[in-house]
Amino acid sequence: MTTAQEAGAWPDIYNFRDLGGRPGAGGRLVKRGLLFRGTALHNATPDDLVKLADLGVGLVFDLRALKEVSGRPDKLPAGATYRREPGVVSMDEADREMLDWPAFIAQLVDSETELDKEESFQGSIYGEMVERPQAFRALLGEMLAQPSRAVYVHCSAGKDRTGVAGAIILTLLGVGPEEVMADYLLSAEYPSPDNQVAQQMADQAGPRIAKLIGRMLTVSKPQLDFAFQHAETVWGSWDTFVSDGLGLTKDDVKALQESYLS
């Protein structure tokens, strides 16, 4: 995706990319080398961590829920600070194994009630992210506090929670909707190798479960469109979402643009 990646400077992390390079406010470009996104780092190799350190990553910002982090703590590049804030607050209250696909699909097969609940939950997460945007507020606060420090933001697959985080950041930096959507949809092109196995298991469990798992494994334009539309519905306008939901003043937004655009 970039010269750095082609040259082998990027870690071998699924769905990893730099948010930089896209045109933002005033015709300036989002700076490269400050805002990285991808998947969780519990499986990061020593070489991955060295490359993250070489990229200057000084903050690893984790959007996962407690259950996801339990037993799978991030490995950190040398010198980096770690912070976790759940991108979907209600997921911190979930009492199930979220990343064990065989167990998860078996649970859905055994209980129609659980299947009903999961369908409802999956339909609600994009709305909840903008209704309760505490994690994004915290992330932006970190960016404002130390704008020269490179940030690596992730969830588990680096697509939904991380995707909304990236879309909000790029929008605040004045990147246009088409470019924002283009970055978000890149996640569909870089799936985890586990996805194919999970989908095969789901297909064998029946069409309803197959449809649900298929939705969980990818991203789509309607999902991100809904998040932004819902933010305006819940908060009254995008500007109110920024000021009241994200806690940013006009001067804060200007400061972000001054720091992250070139």
Residues 108-123 have pLDDT tens digits of 999 999 999 999 999 9
**Alpha helices per DSSP H over 57-193:** 66-69, 101-110, 112-122, 125-131, 134-145, 161-172, 177-185
Q: What pLDDT, in 10s, does the model give residues 4-63?
A: 554 578 999 999 999 999 999 999 999 999 999 999 999 999 999 999 999 999 999 999
Over residues 92-105, the pLDDT tens digits come to 887 666 678 899 99
**What band does 247 get if pLDDT is binned at 50, 70 and 90?**
very high
List domains and CATH numbers for the chain. Answer: 15-260 (3.90.190.10)
pLDDT at position 192 is: 81
Dump strand ranges (E) for the chain. 17-18, 35-38, 57-62, 81-84, 150-154
Percent of the chain with pLDDT over 70: 96
> What is the band of 155 on the pLDDT scale with cuts at 50, 70, 90?
very high
What is this structure's pTM?
A: 0.94
